Amino acid sequence: MQHRNDKTAKSIASFWGKSLKDQDWYSVDTSTGQTEVLIYDVIGWPFVDANAFTRDFNKIQSKEITIGINSPGGDVFDGTAIYNTIENHPAKITTRIDGVAASMASIIALAGDEIQIASNAYYMMHNPWSMSLGDHRDFQKESVLLARITDTLANTYAGKTGIELSKIKSMMDDETWLIGKELVNQGFADKVIGESKTKARFDLSMFDKTPETIKGESVKTPLKTERELEQLLTRDAGFSRSQARAIINSGFKSVITQDANADDIAALTNLIKQLETSNV
């Protein structure tokens, strides 16, 4: 179960290469007489939280709603709740992929009555991931859960597109990226719209097959100094300065002990992944 505290929030933000200071996570605009909702961030707490989104979305009384999407994905359970909230709303809903709809955001995009994609926007589907802590029994349980989630997502893709389930699962295994017209041709979207100026704005380097055209916008500058590493550990992951110095001087094993809590392990896992992809 996710511990919702400052340290966990910073750890999740660090994993996605984001700052918690930028709180333009989603917005609802009715000023023009029509309702436009923008989901422009990571899915799940502390960003596009399903509870907050559902509360706000269900208050909308417009007969037509457009939902713009620019998201790298995120929490599968929050994403499922958001998908169901959109699909169950009585309004005619158009989902519009403005920048990227990756991972769980690709499921949310399918909740619209009409699905649009900008000619230069991307859509990505893959098998769900998780991080786990425990012995072999815990990992076996996690593997079973991931397989069940994979089946659920695959059935959603297949049900919305009419594509055979076996092909959908193969596309998920391969981490499939589609751009603009490709998405319509494959049956995932109804309409291609004009080129969008919206950029990805996310660290997408964690994915294996991120197209170079958007990877270049999102990959952060590699860390080069101990000072930068210390700032990352304290500012982004929430460790104390003494913990940060211990990690720098003695390695990550100085914190990974039997007494380390789940938040510490999650933070270190995220930081190790960042350091590996930054070629430090």
Catalytic residue among 11, 14, 71, 126: 126
How far is Cα 262 from Cα 256, in angstroms, rounded to an integer?
Answer: 10
Torsion sign across C-alpha atoms 199, 78, 9, 60: positive
How far is Cα 114 from Cα 208, in angstroms, rounded to an integer?
Answer: 30
Residue 89 is a catalytic residue: no
Distance of CA 153 to the CA centre of its chain: 15
Which residues touch 248 (CB under 8 Å, ≥6 apart)? 226, 229, 230, 233
Residue 112 near residue 86, CB atoms below 8 Å: yes
Residue 19 is a catalytic residue: no
How far is Cα 130 from Cα 279, in angstroms, rounded to an integer?
Answer: 23
Catalytic residue among 11, 14, 103, 106: 103
Max CA distance (Å), the chain: 60
Name 171's bridge partners. Answer: none
Residue 99 near residue 200, CB atoms below 8 Å: yes
Residue 234 near residue 240, CB atoms below 8 Å: yes
> Which amino acid, one-letter code, is at 33?
G
In b/e form, how buried is each residue of 179-197, taking b as 16+ CB within 10 angstroms? bbebbbeeebbeebeeebe
Instruction: Give the pairing of strands 64-71 and 191-193.
Output: unpaired
Which residue reads 């909740």 in tokens?
111
Give catalytic residue positions. Answer: 103, 126
